[in-house]
Structure 1
Amino acid sequence: MAHEYLLACLAFLAVNVVRVLSSTQDMEFTFVLPAGSKECFYQKLEKNSTLEFEYQVVGQANQQANQDITFAIISPTGRREFEDKRKKHALHKLAGTMEGEYQMCFDNSFSKTKEKLLFFTLFINDSLNDDEELAKSIITNEDAENTLIGFKSRLEEMHRQIHRGRVIQLMLRTYDTRDQLRQDNNLWRVDLWSAINICVIIAVAVTQVHILQSLFPGS
């Protein structure tokens, strides 16, 4: 009996490990939203899933000012679950979703001249209600059940922390991309001023030589 109980516990743990890892999905994306435009991304969700969406205006391709955006999450029925008015960064969590296609829309129509460089991450955790039914069917000891449920919670939390660490690394790479864009956009200015300085130095040298020759006409 003890061996059967131990095997049942191990089977439950193995099933939860596989389901936690396979029931989550995430994505990251960086894009430039032109001035005066709107861009929507679509994601199909299952019923009773959990959606975590985080976005940040990393910057403009050329400047640092006006780093804000209007954002909304729209359900399959057209209801606005979340709406942000001209924010730079936000994190939204939506639990108990309905089945269908959700919209994540970024709106930069209020800015007529400034494009925005945006980074967002999407984390989806499918419903795990079947795991609770499985736990009740193979475990009768209350303490053991609480231990297994606690283990599953810690496993899910560890997975979320790993995901957050990955998001931070991607955001740092996005900052590097923004800085590279600024360097590329400022390169022509450096070249222009260098050319102007060279021309000025040559003109000053020629002028000095001409002045010296005018002071000594017979030489």
Structure 2
Amino acid sequence: MRYYFVLTIFSCVFAYEKDLTFSVQAGKTDCFYHKVLPNEVIDLEYQVIDATHGELDISFQLADPVGRIIVADYKKSENAHRHTAALNGDYRFCFDNTFSTFSQKTVFFDLMIDTEENQDKEYDEDKEMEFGANSAESYMMRMRDISESVSRVRDNVSTARRLQELHSAHEARDRNRAEEMCAKVMTWSMVQIVLMMTVGATQVFFLKSLFEDRGSSSYKKLIPGLGSQ
């Protein structure tokens, strides 16, 4: 009987969680689907961490199984949403990059479907049945305390994990920006070096020509046909 209670306690703290990083091509829309039961909580976060050109932004939509739009974001770099499902079915998560002509966006997406409320309800029903079957009230109270402690630990660990993933996404975005800025600085520096060498060589050539004989062919070499006029 004790094994049964322990199994029930640990089964009530599990929830679905998934994070992924993907690319949305310019002018395209990528959608994901996940089945959600009524009264389950949809907790999601997304962030644009890289773009080939332009701003780090994307449009987002969350739709229920009948196609009704629940959440709609337009051209945002990051956002977080929490929604309690009212219908049973596949919910749609779409990332829209159709407003971009050339820029490909890299998006970090974290989704968690929390089933704790439903599982806690099942646990309460099992507990009531056991109360009716025996009088071990103190034992059930201890099991309830253990269940609450495990739930708190699960929540704290899940929160810490999501914060680490979010900080990792911020770090990836900042690194991409720094690398892009470094590439621009290097390109502009090379252009400036070539321009300075060209200007310097031209100045040396004309300065040298000032000290040569005016009757020499320096200007004739520079401007063909000058001496024939």
What TM-score results when the alignment is normalised by the length of structure 2? Answer: 0.69
8 Å contact 2:61–2:71 — kept in the other structure?
A: yes
Distance 1:64 1:175 in 2: 18
8 Å contact 2:50–2:176 — kept in the other structure?
A: no
Instruction: State, as a whole percentage, how many aligned pairs show the same letter.
Output: 22
Secondary structure of 1:157's counterpart equals: helix
Question: Aligned runs of 1:64-143 on 2, under 5 Å?
Answer: 65=55, 67-75=57-65, 78-80=66-68, 82-86=70-74, 88-95=78-85, 98=88, 100-109=89-98, 111-113=99-101, 114-126=103-115, 127-128=118-119, 129-139=121-131, 140=135
Mean Cα deviation higher: 63-72 or 157-166: 63-72
Go from structure 1 to structure 2 and tell me whether the alpha carbon gap of 1:155 and 1:84 turns closer, same or farther (over 3 Å shift): farther
Q: Letter of the aligned partner of 1:20 in structure 2?
A: C
The offset of 1:186, in angstroms, is 4.5
Go from structure 1 to structure 2 and tell me whether the alpha carbon gap of 1:52 and 1:64 turns closer, same or farther (over 3 Å shift): farther
8 Å contact 1:56–1:90 — kept in the other structure?
A: yes
8 Å contact 1:34–1:108 — kept in the other structure?
A: yes
Cα deviation 1:21-48 (Å, max 9, x = unaligned): 5x32211012232343322111234x45
Distance 1:147 1:48 in 2: 30
Which residue of structure 2 aligns with residue 3 of structure 1?
none
Q: Letter of the aligned partner of 1:44 in structure 2?
A: K
Which residue of structure 2 aligns with residue 27 of structure 1?
18
Which residue of structure 2 aligns with residue 202 of structure 1?
197
Unaligned runs of 5+ in 1: 1-7
Secondary structure of 2:212's counterpart equals: coil
Q: How many residues align?
A: 204
Distance 2:83 2:143 in 1: 25
Structure 1 residue 36 and structure 2 residue 27: aligned?
yes
Q: Letter of the aligned partner of 1:108 in structure 2?
A: N
The offset of 1:192, in angstroms, is 2.7
Larger radius of gyration: 2
8 Å contact 2:43–2:114 — kept in the other structure?
A: no
1:214 aligned residue (205, 209, 213): 209
Q: Letter of the aligned partner of 1:69 in structure 2?
A: S
Unaligned runs of 5+ in 2: 214-229
Q: Letter of the aligned partner of 1:34 in structure 2?
A: Q
Cα deviation 1:56-106 (Å, max 9, x = unaligned): 33355156747352311322xx153722242541222325652x4332223
Over the aligned positions, Cα root-mean-square deviation in angstroms equals: 3.3
Distance 1:44 1:91 in 2: 17
